[in-house]
């Protein structure tokens, strides 16, 4: 496989509000802490997965410095779109002034949809169908009240503007690999408000099996080994799983450092791996190599190998870094959490 | 057009401003109309045209076409009739139309009625109705309410002139003092400045008691020509000596100076010139104080104070019934009430009471010239009328 | 209410509301929002369509506590007149800000947010709001 495309601009967005696990415990378990993460992000009452995708996309455009009317693709991966039928891509494309000659779509594959959008747009660039295209992973995930996923189902988005290969860009996608099986570890039926999940079954047969398969598949095809990567980002439904799969694959904790953010913001679903990648880019040096392995329930994993380009430091400060977004934080209590999530019956 | 033709107010009538749970909009406008006709000494069959001033009957009552409706409801189907709308200036602008109708010579005797029924609606719906005075598509869309727009004016005013909120808010205290002696007032009881300043904020810095209340009411006037007047036995003749309407740049945020309502300046200049008067000649004044800060601004734009100093007239007691410029002597919008489309007519009704010497405890000593200023939106339309007592 | 439920209206208004499109009068230089062909200041019909700046400063603001019906659940919220960096004054809601921290002179930038929905089944109306810079 030759390099597919380069990242010309990237942006992330995390809503301002946070709820702490200890506050959720206060309501659900009488204070007995179940803390897979310290806190998670939640969207404000006027936000949804479309508006937060817009924010990330706007920042990606700022970093790219590309005229929006030249962007000819917008692929959005999400499992929480505001409409079941009517894509967010149309609104964001119009709001940002993309070309009307546009390859646009919203796609769903649980938490893998963002990286699949990225691979798809990279392929459009690589095959010459387009010159510039954007991929976004975005979610405002809903946790069933009282369920353990309530601690982690969070909100965030990351957007990547891709263009033709260039060593001067932010980074270049060198190789991709995807591994998919029919594994029903987590799902949501049509019309249902909250998803169902299968507790320990989501571990070994789902998360671990697919991430390991995709990562090993990519490393076999490229001949790369864990020590060849400076940074690795795994999908992060909590803090323990990515640490464990990293260890199982032969990575060291320092390699996960920049890509693991779930402790502070929760699981941002289709955005999770991509926000991790954005944080890596906020801190990486030209020439470094990055591996991103996402996981989406259902199930599947995308593995993406990138090399950081000469342009990474130049564009960094043109938009808020992930660290700044994480630091912009207002902690709310459970009552406001319910109000903002529209969960109070009127 | 016969510019020598004079227009007189020969009959006045009004309902109390109140929450009239038992009266519909049509009941109210019929009641005020029949009172005015009776007061004139004419028969309803003398009326040749009706102008109904109203802002929101379509939205709140689902009823348009008020002119024709009223004609049937007072028993004279067949005459000319129309609804006139200019937001909260509907009454004043309807009066201007009625004035033009008689002045032109086409009609000798017309009825003009202002009416609004606000209390059938939920508060949220009323807020929706009132913000229709501003640009719906791009300004109301942002969620700002009509009160919020006026809050912006308040902020600009205090900043630009260094005025204090207490000195402006006192307008509400002034109004309530006089409403106490007005049998038609919605809130006939005095209030203190402390009550005003402690009332809950509606849109900061505007407090609840700085806002005109929501209410129902109707006021009506019968206007006629001099020829028609000859057939009536009137000692006191009230002439509409000046009638003018002006507009401003529609949206507040597109204007150069948000603390001046140019429509007031223009309409006042025109109406005063028609009536051959200057500000110092005015004996009694009604200003459109939907919010206390507006009341203060109107005094300036009408020419009674320098910009930024309108509140001083209040502080110095000049607006009292025995002051230099008796203002809102029956309670104004704040305390007599503000059924929006009717207000412009209530104002002239009250000027007429003063000029006739029928204002009771609120009577200004021997007034000859009265002015009423009626405002739509945040000054997007302003109607100014000058009424003179003529012997 | 009929106008609140209109879909063609939302479609027609989207360019101006999604991208903050204003006008600059070629005759007197006035910059205004929203765009239209006739200048509100001088009345001339020669107006150029422009995309307005994405940053500005809060000039005046207030807190809406008694909202129009379709905003009932969002109150209290902040509305303001924002002076954009090119001098254009625009009305907008201010998002992501505490009532206690919003102030005149605050620097803000555009964001796209949900303004209102046309009921449970109707479309969502998005538009530009402003929020503090990050």
Q: Is C83 on the interface with B (CB under 8 A)?
A: no
Contact indicator for C97, C78 with CB cutoff of 8 Å:
yes
> Average pLDDT for residues A199-214, to the nearest whole number?
96
Mutate to test the interface with A, among C16, C79, C95, C112 (most CBs of A within 10 A): C112
Contacts of B205 in chain C (CB under 8 A): 62
The token duo for B182 is 């007005």
Q: Which residue of C14, C96, C134 is in closest CB contact with A44?
A: C96
Same domain assignment for residues A19 and A160 = yes
Judged by average pLDDT, the poorest of B74-78, B225-229, B304-308, C98-102 is: B225-229
User: Where do we find the tokens 């412009």?
Assistant: B344
Q: Are residues A123 and A180 in the same domain?
A: no
Note the pLDDT of residue B57.
97
Interchain CB distance below 8 Å, C98 and A330? yes
CB proximity C2 to B under 8 Å: no
**Domain span including residue A279:** 174-313
**In chain B, beta strands by DSSP E:** 7-14, 49-53, 80-84, 109-116, 201-203, 206-207, 217-225, 237-247, 284-286, 369-376, 381-390
| All partners of chain A with 3 or more CB pairs under 8 angstroms | C
Active-site residue among B88, B109, B211, B224?
B88
Structure confidence at residue B391 (pLDDT): 76
The pLDDT mean for chain B works out to 96
> What is the complex's ipTM, to 2 decimals?
0.95
CA angle B342, B346, B347 (to 5 degrees): 120
* A165 plus A179 within the same structural domain: no
pLDDT, tens only, A223-243: 999 999 999 999 999 999 999
Neighbours of C120 (CB within 10 A): 5
**Residue C60 clears pLDDT 50, i.e. is over it:** yes
Binding-site residue ranges of A: 32, 111, 152, 200, 202, 235, 240, 244, 267, 297
Model confidence at A172: pLDDT above 80: yes
Determine which of B2-11, B27-36, B156-165, B321-330 has the lowest per-residue pLDDT on average: B2-11
pLDDT at position B1, please?
45
Residues A41 and A103 in one domain: yes
In this complex, how many residue pairs, one in chain B and one in chain C, have their CB atoms less than 8 Å apart? 106
Query: Is the domain of A10 the same as that of A153?
Result: yes
Tell whether the model's pLDDT for residue B105 goes beyond 60.
Answer: yes
Nearest to B156 by CA among A235, A118, A220, C80: C80
Q: Which residue has the higher pLDDT, A34 or C11?
A: C11
Residues 6+ apart with CB under 8 A from B296: B157, B163, B168, B171, B310, B311, B314
A49 CB within 8 Å of a chain C CB: no
Q: Residue A97 domain-assigned?
A: yes
Residue A118 lies in a domain: yes
> Residue A73 pLDDT more than 50?
yes
On whether both A234 and A296 belong to a single domain, the answer is yes
Per-residue pLDDT tens for B209-232? 999 999 999 999 999 999 888 777
Neighboring chain C residues of B158 at a CB cutoff of 8 Å:
none
> Residue C75 corresponds to which tokens in the numbers above?
């109150």
CA atoms of A196 and A203, how far apart (whole Å): 15
Could you read off the pLDDT of C66-113 as tens digits, one per residue?
Answer: 999 989 888 899 999 999 999 999 999 999 999 999 999 999 999 999
The answer to whether residue A84 is domain-embedded is yes
A190 pLDDT exceeds 90? yes
Neighbours of B213 (CB within 10 A): 18
Q: Do A16 and C14 touch (CB under 8 A)?
A: no
| Closest by CA position to A311, among listed A122, A161, A114 | A161
Domain extent listing, chain C: 2-132
**Same domain for A130 and A114:** yes
Closest partner residue to C111 among A55, A86, A97, by Cβ? A55
Residues A244, A330, single domain; the answer is no
Tokens 């001339």, located at residue: C44
- Cβ neighbours of C40 in B, within 8 Å: 249-251, 254
Query: What pLDDT sits at residue B228?
Result: 85
The reply to whether CATH 3.40.50.2300 applies to domain B7-122+214-229 is no
What CA–CA distance (Å, rounded) separates B136 from A8?
A: 41
Q: Report the domain count for chain A.
A: 2
Q: What is the pLDDT of residue B3?
A: 67
So where are chain B's domains? Answer: 7-122+214-229
Percent of chain A clearing pLDDT 70 (strictly above)? 100
Give the helix/strand (H/E) hosting A162: strand A155-163
Q: Is the pLDDT of residue C61 over 50?
A: yes
Does B224 qualify as catalytic in the annotation?
A: no
- Domain harbouring A204, CATH code: 3.40.47.10
CB C86: neighbour CB atoms within 10 A?
Answer: 13
Chain B residues in contact with C39 by the CB 8 A cut-off are: none
């Amino acid at each position: 496989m030759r390099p597919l495309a380069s990242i010309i601009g990237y942006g992330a967005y995390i809503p301002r509000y946070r709820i702490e696990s200890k506050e959720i415990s206060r309501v659900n378990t009488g204070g007995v802490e179940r803390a897979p993460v310290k806190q998670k992000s939640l969207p404000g009452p006027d936000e949804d997965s479309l508006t937060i995708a817009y924010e990330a996309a706007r920042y990606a455009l700022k970093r790219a410095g590309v005229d929006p009317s030249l962007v000819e693709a917008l692929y959005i991966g999400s499992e929480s779109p505001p409409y079941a039928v009517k894509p967010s891509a149309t609104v964001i494309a119009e709001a940002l002034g993309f070309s009307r000659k546009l390859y646009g779509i919203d796609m769903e594959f649980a938490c893998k949809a963002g990286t699949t959008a990225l691979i798809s747009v990279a392929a459009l660039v690589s095959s010459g169908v387009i010159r510039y295209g954007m991929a976004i992973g975005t979610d405002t995930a809903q946790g069933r009240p009282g369920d353990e996923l309530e601690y982690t189902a969070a909100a965030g988005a990351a957007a990547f503007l891709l263009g033709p290969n260039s060593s001067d860009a932010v980074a270049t996608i060198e190789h991709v690999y995807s591994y998919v099986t029919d594994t029903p570890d987590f799902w949501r039926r049509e019309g249902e408000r909250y998803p169902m999940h299968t507790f320990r079954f989501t571990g070994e047969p789902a998360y671990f099996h697919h991430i390991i398969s995709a990562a090993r598949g990519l490393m076999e095809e490229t001949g790369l080994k864990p020590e060849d990567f400076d940074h690795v980002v795994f999908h992060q439904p909590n803090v323990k799983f990515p640490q464990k799969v990293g260890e199982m694959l032969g990575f060291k904790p320092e390699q996960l450092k920049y890509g693991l953010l779930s402790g502070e913001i929760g699981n941002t679903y289709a955005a999770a791996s991509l926000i991790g990648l954005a944080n890596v880019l906020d801190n990486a040096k030209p020439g470094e190599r990055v591996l991103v392995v996402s996981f989406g329930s259902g199930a599947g994993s995308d593995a993406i190998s990138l090399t950081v380009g000469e342009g990474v430091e130049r564009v960094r400060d043109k938009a808020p870094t992930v660290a700044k977004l994480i630091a912009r934080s207002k902690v709310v209590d459970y009552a406001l959490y319910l109000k903002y999530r529209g969960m109070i019956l009127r | 057009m016969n510019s020598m033709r004079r227009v007189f107010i020969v009959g006045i009538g009004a309902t109390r401003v109140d929450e009239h749970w038992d009266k519909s909009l049509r009941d109210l406008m019929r009641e005020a109309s029949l009172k005015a006709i009776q007061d004139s000494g004419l028969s309803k069959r003398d009326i040749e045209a009706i102008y109904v001033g109203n802002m929101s009957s379509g939205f709140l009552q689902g009823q348009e076409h008020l002119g024709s409706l009223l004609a049937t409801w007072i028993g004279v189907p067949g005459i000319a009739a129309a609804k006139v709308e200019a937001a909260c200036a509907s009454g004043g602008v309807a009066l201007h139309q009625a004035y033009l109708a008689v002045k032109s010579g086409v009609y000798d005797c017309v009825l003009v009625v202002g009416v609004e029924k606000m209390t059938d609606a939920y508060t949220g719906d009323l807020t929706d109705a009132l913000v229709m005075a501003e640009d719906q598509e791009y300004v109301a869309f942002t969620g700002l309410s009509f009160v919020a727009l006026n809050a912006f004016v308040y902020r600009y005013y205090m900043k630009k002139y260094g005025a204090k909120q207490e000195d402006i808010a006192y307008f509400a205290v002034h109004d309530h003092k006089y409403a106490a002696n007005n049998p038609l007032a919605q809130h006939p009881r005095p209030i203190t400045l402390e009550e005003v300043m402690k009332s809950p904020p509606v849109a900061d810095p505007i407090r609840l008691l700085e806002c005109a209340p929501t209410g129902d009411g109707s006021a009506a006037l019968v206007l006629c020509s001099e020829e028609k007047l000859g057939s009536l036995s009137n000692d006191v003749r009230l002439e509409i000596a000046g009638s003018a309407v002006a507009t401003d740049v529609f949206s507040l945020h597109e204007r150069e100076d948000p603390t001046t309502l140019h429509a007031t300046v223009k309409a006042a200049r025109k109406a005063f010139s028609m009536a051959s008067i200057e500000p110092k000649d005015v004996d009694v004044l009604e200003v459109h104080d939907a919010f206390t800060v507006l009341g203060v601004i109107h005094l300036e734009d009408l020419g009674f104070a320098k910009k930024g100093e309108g509140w001083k007239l209040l502080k110095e007691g000049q607006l009292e019934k025995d002051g230099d410029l008796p203002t809102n002597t029956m309670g104004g919008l704040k305390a007599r009430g503000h059924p929006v489309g009717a207000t412009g007519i209530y104002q002239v009704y009250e000027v007429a009471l003063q000029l006739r010497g029928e204002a009771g405890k609120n009577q200004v000593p021997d007034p000859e010239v009265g002015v009423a200023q009626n405002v739509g939106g945040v000054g997007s339309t302003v109607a100014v009328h000058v009424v003179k007592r003529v012997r | 209410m009929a106008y609140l439920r209109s879909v063609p209206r939302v479609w027609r208004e989207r360019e101006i509301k999604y991208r903050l499109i204003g006008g600059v009068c070629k005759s007197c230089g006035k910059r205004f929002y929203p765009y239209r062909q006739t200048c509100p200041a001088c009345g001339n019909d020669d107006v150029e369509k422009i995309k307005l700046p994405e940053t500005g400063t809060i000039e005046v603001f207030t807190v809406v506590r008694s909202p129009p019906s379709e905003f009932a659940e969002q109150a209290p919220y902040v509305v303001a007149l924002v002076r954009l960096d090119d001098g254009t004054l625009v009305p907008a809601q201010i998002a992501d800000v505490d009532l206690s921290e919003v102030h005149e002179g605050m620097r803000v930038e555009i964001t796209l947010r949900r303004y209102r929905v046309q009921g449970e089944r109707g479309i969502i109306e998005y538009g530009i709001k402003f929020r503090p810079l990050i």
